[in-house]
Structure 1
Amino acid sequence: MRAPELYAALYVREFPAQAALRLRPVLREQPCAILDGTPPSEFVCAMTTKARARGVQHGMTRVEVETISSVMTLARMPNEEEQARAIVQEVAGGFTPRIETRTFERAFLCVLDISGTESLFGPPRQLAQELLKRIRSLGMAATVAVSANFHAAWCMARGTSTKAALTMLAEGRQREALAPLPLAVLELSEAQLATLSSWGVSTLGKLATLPEKSLIARLGQEAKRLRQLAAGELPHLFQPMETPFTLREEMELENPIELLDGLLFLLNLMLEQIIRRASDRILALSSVSVSLGLEGGTTHTRTVSPPSPTNERALWLKLLQMELELHPPQAAILHVVLQADPGHISKVQLGLFSPQLPEPGRLEVTLARIAKIVGEDAVGQAVLRDTHQPRGFRMERFRVPTTTPASTEVDVVRIALRELRPSEPIMVQLRAGTPSHLRFRNEPYRVDAAYGPWVIGTDWWNQEHWGQAQWDLVVADASDTKLRCCIIRDLKKHCWQMAGFYD
């Protein structure tokens, strides 16, 4: 049996202002106006409640706003609005995959199909309260209306004050609930609004009481739809859209930033938002990339990725700080983009009597501090390269293994070579082309066993550079103390060197 229709409409008014102040918490309590257009024809497109209380109105020019004391002005930022719109839609998608959105000139509307969600989120009122809570955690204010009719829900959400943020419309009583709302909640043309106003119709209740046939005769077939809207009876074919999920924050700066402390303050706010959104989906951050738009049009991008996913904001901020200190931007910063890749929260189970392992986060911070001192190429784990070159290895970042390591044979004996850096010169006596005696650090040694030579040098396609031969020897001194060593013969310089000792 199909669940009855039920919709929750989420309405964010003055959206350009709320999108601009979402990552600027210091300005949320200030009277701010958002200006759209190009100078000198800028006009007010959105404002905060305190700015409206000071007398700011939509359509005011910059000159008119500047005559009002204590009102701050910000330029409209389409990129931040688009980002905020995607985030609001993403939060709504955490409750249901069936979402339909609509963008107004100064607001954003998102309608959720919440039929059949009681087993997951409880009664509709509880779901609406949790939805409001998550929107407020983004630093935004909204209204939510729940109704069995799609259009009744969004009309009520548009007409409700932010102070009365949640409204529940009872089944079959949508007409009574919508009656006191002004005609402004409907998308009326100026001609329709002027005609209805001349008739003395100012609310949805008055519009719904007009005779349908007479209304159609005067306003056309569109009047039938408007009357059904006002009565909360207009049917709707729900057209859900895909809800994107990207952990991304973007911010345009009014003034260039040159100091790292100012940038870290912004990154802290961005990380807080990203981590909260990831936690809502029971995810953690596996890597974070910061892209800085610099003066001159260049971009500076850095990425940090600890061994295991984590949601520790202090850890991420510290890693970003050390990465930017190691690779600082070369110009003032005008634009900041922070993007993260999600990962599953790591789970580590230790034995009852096993020693406590170091925390992955603290280990990563320690490695970053060491890399800042000795350089990134000198920190990590050594990985052998497929080459015959001396010291044929490269350094890679430490990684926590995600799979169980393959079992090794217990009878395999591994011998380590302790390399001398730099190699030390020796004197070698040959017998039939094989070392028989050598002198190292003014001590004579006899050769009991010799293995080699192995020609080493560069890659196979550069045969002219193969100029060294390696020998592995077992030698003994006068007291018959054995020593296992590796010696190198330079075929070009005709000299011998002690390369290292085997354990």
Structure 2
Amino acid sequence: MTKPPELYACLYVREFPGQALLRLRADLHGRPCVVLEGEPPSERVCSLNSKARLQGIRHGMTRVEVETFPDPVILSRSPTAESGAKSILLECAGAFSPRIEECSNDLAFLCVIDIAGTRGLFGPPAMLAQSLLQRVRSLGISARITVSHNFHAAASLARGPLSKSAIQIISLNEEADALSPLPLTVLDLTEAQAETFALWGIRSLGALAALPEKELIARTGQEGRRLRELALGIHPHLFQPIEPPYILEERIEFDAPVEPLDSLLLAVGVILDQLILRATARVFSLSALTVTLTLDDGGLHTRTIRPAQPSTDKQLWIKLLHLDMQAHPPSAAILAVTASAEPGSTTKIQLGLFSPQLPEADRLDVTLARIRAIVGENNVGRAVLQDSHSTEPFRMEAFTVPSGESDVAAAEQARASIRKLRPLESASVTLQNLRPSMFFFREQRYVVERAYGPWIVGGDWWAQTLWGCEQWDLIARSQDGSMLYCCMMRDLLEHKWQMAALYD
């Protein structure tokens, strides 16, 4: 089996600090926006959008210079937003090939994807590049895609001046012609190299490639040979792939503190669009959503929503979060929202032809959320027995949908069952030789025919919740001849009898 020829697709994002901040801020896309970095008062422009560039704003301007232009939106550089956007772009690129190498700089994102052998999955390179570009644009980011059989040729072409098309493909053995008009700045020259080539009058890759190789090496060494090979698009490269982590997380920072819940839900809706888009790209749903609010008083307010089944219904998540935030409102105004999701399987439930119709999972989740808001979060769920001898050995757990079949084998023969009474019901007991002989229960008089016990239990002797009781299993007959099989408890601290359970 022959190895497919090398083929690379380069994903390049200009003005990355600005795009990382604006990709979830649709309200700012039509306004001139600039990003400043540095400490006041020496802040300078490090990134800007096209609207600001048309007004005349340039990189390196100070805040005072920017404020002389009409109505600019000034943002501070956010390493957190850039790190999140970088992870999302690497995740997006990983959907087309597991072999990715990142070559970003301080102001631009660049990654090269090894797409050799992917024609059967994604079609020809032009089709793959178009699909990749559409995926990136759906994330709210403008990018450029270049394809070449040489790693460095694809990267150099992507760094070049903007062209009419966002996708450029270099055919095999045409790398030198495609790179010829590009400026030398795409090669990341050192200051000494840039000064030398400027003195020689070399300003493009075509002029550099036309230099005699031996004379160039004699004057600049092997580094000159490497630069000439880069200009020709023939320099080899040892691919160093990375494995980006899959983290479903998005963050929005507000320009001013936000208090209304509607404004928060509007921002969460934008975040959910991205989380659902990224999850469905890998055939996942969202099984849980954790929202962390950065508050104006310096605190954090974190809430986790976990429906009964994974879902990609945006309106369901917003409704559940709305009900939860109404029950647990933040204590101060909100400065930023961070939402992280857990991926879940997109399972389907197949109903039988004659089985009863089950309630819709989405409506059930909303109903349970409304009940929690009324009766309290810890009072909704299912009762789970605890490993204790106490008379109240249970706790409440959230409802969950079981996955698969139970591992517990079904009983082959019928077993006796016990019906515990909650709360315990009072009973009046008559003793004979310290053993129950007769009792009144639910306005009925019973004569004890057999009594088993007592079994004395107790606990929490180290705390105020100290308890102790003795348990009796009784077989009794009423006046009309009916039999009663029951479990009677005697509280040793309060000296009272109570009916604990009835045996079937």
Q: Could you tell me the TM-score, scaled by structure 2's length? A: 0.92
Q: 1:160 to 1:167 in 2, by over 3 A?
A: farther
1:270 matched to 2:271: yes
Contact in 2 for aligned 1:423/1:500 (Cα 8 Å) = no
Shift of 1:223: 2.5
Q: Look up the equivalent residue of 1:372 and give its one-letter code.
A: A
SS of equivalent to 1:202? coil
> Cα–Cα, structure 1 residues 414 and 481, in superposed 2: closer, same or farther, change >3 Å?
closer
> Structure 1: how far apart are the matches of 2:164 and 2:258?
37
Query: Aligned partners of 2:242, 2:417: CA distance in 1, in Å?
Result: 62
Cα pair 1:10 1:109 within 8 Å, conserved: yes
Aligned counterpart, 1:34: 35
Inter-CA distance 106–449: structure 2 relative to 1 (3 Å threshold): same
Q: Corresponding residue for 1:366?
A: 367
- One-letter amino acid matched to 1:417: R
Q: How far, CA to CA, are the matches of 2:163 and 2:443 in structure 1?
A: 90
Give the whole-Å Cα distance in 2 for the aligned partners of 1:445 and 1:162: 96
**For the residues of structure 2 that align with 1:431 and 1:212, how far apart are their CA atoms?**
116
For residues 161-210 of structure 1, the C-alpha deviation after alignment (integer angstroms, 9 at most, x for no partner) is 26410011011111111122222322123443344344443322222222
Give the partner amino acid of 1:36.
E
Range 99-108 or range 222-231, more displaced: 222-231
Structure 1 residue 440, shift from structure 2 partner: 4.2
- CA shift for structure 1 position 2: 1.0
CA–CA distance in structure 2, aligned partners of residues 163 and 26 of structure 1: 26
Alpha-carbon RMSD: 2.5
**Is it true that 1:43 corresponds to 2:51 in the alignment?**
no
Cross-structure match for 2:190: 189
Q: Which residue of structure 2 aligns with residue 147 of structure 1?
A: 148
Query: Structure 1, residues 428-471: CA drift from partner, whole Å, max 9, x if none?
Result: 22223222222346654433444433334426999x94532233
Counterpart of 1:104 in structure 2 is 105
The residue number in structure 1 matching 2:169 is 168
Secondary structure, aligned partner of 2:147: strand
Higher mean alpha-carbon deviation, 100-109 vs 188-197, is at 188-197
- Give percent identity, aligned residues only: 51
Distance in 2 between residues matched to 1:20 and 1:135, nearest whole Å:
15
Contact persistence 1:251–1:335 (CA under 8 A): yes
**What do the CA deviations read for 1:28-61 (whole angstroms, capped 9, x no partner)?**
2221011111111111000001110010100011
Alpha-carbon separation, structure 1, partners of 2:84 and 2:489: 62
Structure 1: runs of 5 or more not aligned: none
Stretch of structure 1 that moved more, 466-475 or 355-364? 466-475
**Range with bigger deviation, 149-158 or 248-257:** 248-257
Q: Which amino acid aligns with 1:492?
A: L
The yes-or-no answer on 1:302 pairing with 2:300 is no
Per the alignment, residue 427 of structure 1 pairs with: 428
Which residue among 406, 414, 417 is the counterpart of 1:415? Answer: 417
CA offset digits 1:83-108 (Å, max 9, x no partner): 11111111111111111111223211
Q: Distance in 2 between matches of 1:65 and 1:163?
A: 29
In 2, distance between residues paired with 1:354 and 1:114?
Answer: 49
Q: Could you tell me which residue of structure 1 aligns to residue 214 of structure 2?
A: 213
Partner of 1:293: 294
Contact 2:44 2:59 (C-alpha < 8 Å) held by counterparts? yes
Three-state SS of the structure 2 residue aligned to 1:487 is strand
State the distance in 2 between where 1:318 and 1:414 align.
Answer: 45
Deviation at 1:78, TM superposition (A): 0.7
Aligned partner of 2:154: which letter?
A
Q: 1:11 to 1:58 in 2, by over 3 A?
A: same
**Structure 1: how far apart are the matches of 2:500 and 2:238?**
79
> What is the identity, as a one-letter code, of the residue corresponding to 1:379?
V
Which residues of 2 match residues 174-253 of structure 1 at below 5 A? 174-253=175-254
- Within a 5 Å distance, the mapping from 1:380-399 to structure 2 comes to 380-399=381-400
Check the 8 A contact 2:455/2:471 in 1, yes or no.
yes
Pick which of 75-84 and 292-301 moved more. Answer: 292-301
**What aligned pairs does 1:339-488 form with structure 2 within 5 A after superposition?**
339-405=340-406, 406-409=408-411, 411-417=413-419, 419=421, 421=423, 423-424=425-426, 426-440=427-441, 443-458=444-459, 465=466, 467-488=468-489
Q: Which residue of 1 aligns with 2:337?
A: 336
Matching residue's letter, 1:228: E
Structure 1 pair 383–228 and aligned structure 2 pair: CA distance change class (3 A): same
The alpha carbon displacement at 1:253 in A equals: 3.2
1:219-269 CA-to-partner distances (Å, cap 9, x unmatched) read: 444322222222212221211122221112233333223333222222222
Distance 1:392 1:460 in 2: 17
Name the CA distance, whole Å, in 1 between partners of 2:496 and 2:190. Answer: 95
Cα pair 1:388 1:459 within 8 Å, conserved: no
* Pairs aligned (count): 502
Amino acid at match of 1:335: A
| Residues 196/404 of structure 1: CA separation in 2 closer, same or farther (3 Å cut) | same
| Contact 1:141–1:162 (8 Å) recurs in 2 | no
Paired with 2:17 and 2:458, the residues of 1 have a C-alpha distance of 65
Provide the rounded CA distance (Å) in 1 between the counterparts of 2:496 and 2:97. 76
Query: SS at 1:103's partner residue?
Result: coil
Query: What is the distance in 1 between the residues matched to 2:389 and 2:81?
Result: 54
